[in-house]
Structure 1
């Protein structure tokens, strides 16, 4: 999929897919929200406002209050691509979120997901 198409995906449309993925692996929506808030700096109300909007991923990440600097330490493969090798900053943020959702769904401990 071309980058422009990925950037145009509505966050509110992607979020239910993330919820379905983590809940199918016995993780909770609250844990998912915690991971998203840790990465982006949104508080609970800010995240809910994003979900209620029609913002695309580009806007979602552009409006993120404080992208977590610890995200730079996130490594691994998502969709066959190494996250740490992605050059485009927005695509790297999107794939970083995907990686964290994957880690949550795979049962990784929250302390490790949140790089504590």
Structure 2
């Protein structure tokens, strides 16, 4: 299967976004499953608006997509993005975030926030 090449500007933007530790960690977590902002609050020492800002940048670049479920928004990796093969390649070099995912599952924030 031949991969579609992306423009250098798009590749540069993707790599710049993934150069941020928080966003790279978010993408590694989203590789495991879709997540709500309240779940990400459990593993990042930052405010909800800060997490939302990181997600907005990833969404604006087409790396994540959002799906509304009731009043809550869940984020997942956009596998239809032209940049997905690049993202997938980068994430191959990132350790799995099992401990952070276990922290999310153990604290079960979706029970508190209702998503």
Structure with the higher helix share, 1 or 2:
1
TM-score (norm 2): 0.31
Structure with the higher strand share, 1 or 2:
2
